């Protein structure tokens, strides 16, 4: 039987004493000149630099897809390289579609003989039917999913619409996510069904923790989007592995500020964030 994703995550957090996820956002025009736009080489260099400090990397599919077939080849190479380096891979695709198409996405990223990723970000706003294939992958293969609940951008015209009971829409979705993950909780007390909640909304982070006590929260927005790690302590009240904080461009492109080698700069920033987050978490 496959080990539950929540237990794998908890083991890595405990082993590295880290809740840091490094996003991989390869933008060719921002890469070091000497790489000649080689995004796979760049991302693998970042993986080498952050592997001692992060528990996972989160390659953003859009940046790979934008480069066509060569970009998707690079995506596969980077995912495999990161997993060999001992990192969990969270594919950031925000996939969401009807059941038959969702099954194809689940197969592509989470199943098969050599899954591309350990977890996938998904869009739950089409309802249970669109999520069930990913839940099946979690049961069969020990995969994880992170459902989009409250994004780091404003998003208020949909997510904050007030329901008849007075709650904002995103809180209703959070309650569904908690229900979907109840039978996928591992021995660690962490579910395979997590939620993406923007670190740029600290009050929402605290409310999300209350609504989804067993779901790992994936918190984007620290770094270039300006969220302060010090505001995120409530996210970790369900345990050291109950929240992950993502930083992408502030790590990927740290060399543009420091003037040092891109790998050294990324490693230094990842090490700094790791320590800051562990302190904030209180564990």
C-alpha separations of 230 from 102, 194, 233, 257, 282 in Å:
37, 22, 7, 23, 11
pLDDT at 225: 78
Cα gap 212→195, rounded to integer Å: 8
Greatest extent of the chain over all pairs of C-alpha atoms, in Å: 57
CATH superfamily of 5-281: Aldolase class I (3.20.20.70)
Structure tokens at 13: 């957090």
Q: Count H helices and E strands in the chain, helices first.
A: 12, 8
The number of residues in the chain equals 283
Q: Which residues, 6+ apart, have CB-to-CB distance to 238 below 8 Å?
A: 189, 190, 209, 213, 214
Question: What is the per-residue pLDDT for 1?
Answer: 66
Identify the pLDDT of residue 80. Answer: 97
Q: How is residue 51 written in tokens?
A: 């592997």
At residue 227, the 3 state secondary structure works out as strand
What average pLDDT does range 241-258 have in this prediction? 96
Report the catalytic residues.
Answer: 94
Average pLDDT (18-27) is 98
């Amino acid at each position: 039987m496959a080990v539950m994703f929540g237990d794998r995550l908890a083991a890595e957090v405990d082993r590295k004493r880290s809740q840091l996820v490094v996003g991989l956002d390869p933008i060719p025009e921002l890469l070091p000149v000497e790489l000649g736009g080689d995004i796979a080489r760049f991302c693998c260099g970042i993986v080498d630099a952050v592997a001692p400090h992060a528990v996972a990397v989160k390659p953003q599919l859009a940046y790979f897809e934008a480069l066509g077939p060569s970009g998707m080849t690079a995506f596969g190479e980077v995912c495999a390289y990161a997993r060999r380096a001992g990192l969990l891979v969270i594919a950031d695709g925000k996939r969401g579609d009807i059941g038959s198409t969702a099954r194809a996405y689940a197969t592509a990223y989470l199943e098969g003989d050599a899954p591309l990723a350990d977890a996938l970000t998904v869009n739950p706003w089409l309802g249970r039917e669109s999520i069930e294939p990913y839940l099946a992958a979690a049961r069969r293969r020990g995969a994880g999913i992170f459902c989009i609940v409250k994004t780091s951008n404003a998003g208020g015209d949909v997510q904050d619409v007030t329901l008849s009971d007075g709650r904002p829409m995103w809180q209703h979705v959070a309650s569904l996510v908690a229900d979907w993950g109840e039978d996928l909780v591992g021995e660690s007390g962490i579910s395979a069904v997590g939620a993406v909640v923007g670190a740029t909304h600290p009050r929402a982070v605290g409310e999300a923790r209350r609504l989804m006590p067993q779901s790992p929260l994936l918190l984007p927005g620290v770094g270039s989007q300006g969220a302060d790690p010090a505001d995120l302590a409530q996210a970790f009240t369900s345990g050291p592995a109950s929240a992950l904080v993502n930083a992408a461009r502030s790590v990927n492109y740290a060399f543009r500020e420091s003037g040092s080698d891109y790998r050294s700069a990324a490693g230094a920033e990842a090490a700094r964030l790791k320590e800051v987050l562990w302190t904030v978490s209180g564990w």
